[in-house]
């Protein structure tokens, strides 16, 4: 391996200062070149018109008729179920009253 010759301390700082100044100048040049290239790219891009908003329809009449028929069928089903529960309650009550009457007759010995 070769050993590097010793440098003088003054020369190192002077060279380093010159290198730093040159690097700063190069950085400024690169930033300017980058800005120019970016501006050129933006200028070359074709402008596209803004997209038109899509108008959404509120739905056809068939959709609303279907919703109405479905809602009516649901309410009709609920009403018939309520009537069936009421009839079952009356039938159970009558059955219990008849059984109670029979039980009292059996206990009395009739």
Q: What is the mean pLDDT of residues 36-57?
A: 78
Per-residue burial over 62-86, b if 16 or more Cβ lie within 10 Å, else e, is eeeeeeeeeeeeeeeeeeeeeeeee
Query: Is residue 55 left, alpha or beta, with left meaning phi > 0 and alpha meaning psi from -120 to 50?
Result: beta
**Tally of CA atoms within 13 A in the half-sphere of 62 that contains its CB:** 0
d(CA 68, CA 61): 11
* Three-state secondary structure call for residue 79: helix
pLDDT band at 8 (very low <50, low <70, confident <90, very high): low
**Mean pLDDT across the chain, nearest whole number?**
84
| Structure letter (DSSP) for residue 47 | P
Q: 25-34, 91-100, 101-110: which range is least confident on average?
A: 25-34
């Amino acid at each position: 391996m070769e050993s590097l010759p010793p440098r003088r301390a003054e020369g190192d700082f002077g060279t380093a200062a010159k290198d730093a100044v040159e690097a700063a100048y190069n950085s400024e040049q690169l930033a300017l070149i980058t800005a120019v290239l970016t501006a050129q790219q933006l200028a070359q891009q074709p402008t596209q018109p803004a997209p038109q908003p899509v108008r959404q329809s509120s739905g056809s009449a068939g959709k609303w008729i279907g919703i109405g028929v479905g809602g009516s069928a649901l309410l009709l089903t609920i009403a018939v179920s309520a009537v069936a529960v009421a009839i079952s309650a009356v039938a159970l009550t009558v059955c219990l009253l008849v059984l109670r009457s029979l039980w009292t007759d059996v206990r009395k010995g009739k």
